[in-house]
Structure 1
Amino acid sequence: MKQNGSAQVFEPFWIGPLADDTVSDRNESCRYRARRTGFPSRKVGQGRFAGVHWMLREALFLWLANHLPKGRIGTRARHEALRCAGLKLSSKVIVMGPVTITPPGTGGRITIGSRSFLNSNIRFGGKGGITIGRFAQIAPNVSFETSSHELAFEEGRSRGPITAPVVVHDHVWIGTGAIILPGVTIGRGAVVAAGAVVTRNVPPKTLVGGVPARVLREVHELPL
């Protein structure tokens, strides 16, 4: 917000250059601060309603990101809107959108490295935390799930929850419609075939596919 005489002028959050490869300065690139409408900045962590305010802020900017048009300007604005929603995006990350984050308020547990590409309709079940490395390629309709339930049950009670993080290392390619389940780590340079359900760790430089996913072959790294 800038002072212009006696008037107050809001500066749109997409004005200005993108941040560098770190995510520590994402607050600086998120120029728009919604304090006038009651939403706190990321530094606000105190107070009775701070959690509710942050969930509303995430919902607002996520809605905006999901309704921006495709194309260069829309993609750049979406990158900044997702940062304002709490996602830890490095520079030159492309997210086509729309993006689903569940449960609400877990966007701050999602980290995506530089030069990664995420196609449309990506779902983040982010309660356990999701980390995606650099140069990752994520096809449409991929789901990252960090919460599930125990297989065993007890009479008169719901199954107990299981929460574990998902980690995707650098140069990973995940095909259309794949599902990554809680606790999975996908090694550097691995490829997940379309429609695979990944229930266990994927070794680096391997191709996995099927339900549940299993190793199909090795993937070679080209020399520099």
Structure 2
Amino acid sequence: MAFSVPGSLISSQQHLHRQAEKIRAARATKDRPHAVRIWHDIIVNWLLATPLIVNGAHRSRLLHLAGMNVRSSRVLKGVTFGSRMVVLKPGAFVNEGCYFDGNERVVIGRAAVAQGVRFVTSTHEIGPSEFRVGPLVTKPIHVGDGAWIGAFATILPGVTIGNGAIVAAGSVVTKDVEPNTVHGGVPARLIRSLEG
């Protein structure tokens, strides 16, 4: 008796097989950081990012058990953590589809991060005319307590967003945002001050 297997199941099995092969190859060459990175991606960015975990507080507890520093925060589905250098302080809220590149430390206080926000901690220096991409440069990002980052904003390397500040949706933040202010635009600029 023959039966057919759905193509999506086969591709999922092939994906897991390829990941397992990479881990075995990394172990054979003593490349532990690569193996750790693969397990991090499988557990944190695939298994725990699934929409099957409905409650953000439960997801945060599971992420904490997987080694992420996100205790007592809420993380919704589809959030990508490039490394364990992300710190979500108690009370932090990260909506679905956010991205942390993981090249440098990102610290988020008791703040709200809307869906699709990108935290980019790395860039490159400008190289010579033969190849303009120069050496990699990384800088940390800090988001203060009470801050609110609007949907699909991009926060670039070295930025500090002050306590109680608001970043408008779709903004590209290239410089520090003072506490209790509203910034927006591309690049983000001061729109107005807020009462503290």
Q: TM-score range by the shorter chain?
A: 0.7 to 0.9
1:19-38 to 2 correspondences below 5 Å: none
Structure in which a larger fraction of residues adopt helix: 2
Question: AA paired with 1:109?
Answer: M
Segments of 5+ residues of structure 2 without an aligned counterpart are 1-19, 21-28
Q: 1:201 to 1:208 in 2, by over 3 A?
A: same
- Residue number in structure 2 paired with 1:53: 35
Q: Hey, what does 1:28 align to over in structure 2?
A: none
Q: 2:59 maps to which residue? A: 78
- Counterpart of 1:159 in 2: which secondary structure? strand
Distance 2:40 2:62 in 1: 9
Q: Let me know the Cα RMSD of the aligned residues.
A: 2.0
Between the aligned partners of 2:76 and 2:159, the Cα distance in structure 1 is 24
Which residue of 35, 49, 52 maps to 1:69? 52
2:115 counterpart letter in structure 1: P
Structure 2 CA distance for aligned equivalents of residues 69 and 188 of structure 1: 33
CA distance in 2, matches of 1:113, 1:215: 26
TM-score, structure 1 length as denominator? 0.69
| Matched ranges for 1:5-44 at <5 A | none
Question: Using a 3 Å threshold, how does the CA distance of structure 1 residues 116 and 81 change in structure 2: closer, same or farther?
Answer: same
CA deviations on 1:49-92 (whole Å, 9 max, x unpaired) are 432332233122211111142533xx34311332244321121x
Runs of 4+ in 1 over 3 A off after TM superposition: 47-50, 155-158
> Kindly, what percent of the aligned residue pairs are identical?
36
Whether contact under 8 Å (1:199, 1:213) holds in the other structure is: yes
- Corresponding residue to 1:154 among 105, 108, 128: 128
What TM-score results when the alignment is normalised by the length of structure 2? 0.78
Query: Secondary structure of 2:137's match?
Result: strand
- Kindly provide the amino acid, as one letter, of the partner of residue 182 in structure 2: L
CA distance in 1, matches of 2:104, 2:39: 20
1:112-157 deviation digits (Å, cap 9, x = unpaired): 01111111100001201101012x111111000000122x321334
Q: Which runs of 5+ in 1 are unaligned?
A: 1-36, 38-46
Q: Distance in 2 between matches of 1:184 and 1:114?
A: 21
**Paired positions, count:** 167
SS of equivalent residue, structure 2 residue 129: coil
1:194 to partner: Cα distance: 0.5
For 2:142, what is the secondary structure of its paired residue?
strand
- Map Cα deviations across residues 156-211 of structure 1 (whole Å, 9 max, x no partner): 34322221000111111000110000000001110000111000000000000011
Distance (whole Å) between structure 1 residues aligned to residue 172 and residue 127 of structure 2: 23
CA contact (8 A) 2:60 2:71 kept: no
- Equivalents in 1 of 2:85, 2:105: separation in Å? 5
Is the Cα–Cα contact under 8 Å of residues 190 and 204 in structure 1 kept in the other structure? yes
Give the conservation status (yes or no) of the 8 Å contact 1:65–1:82.
yes
- Whether 2:102 is the aligned partner of 1:126: answer yes
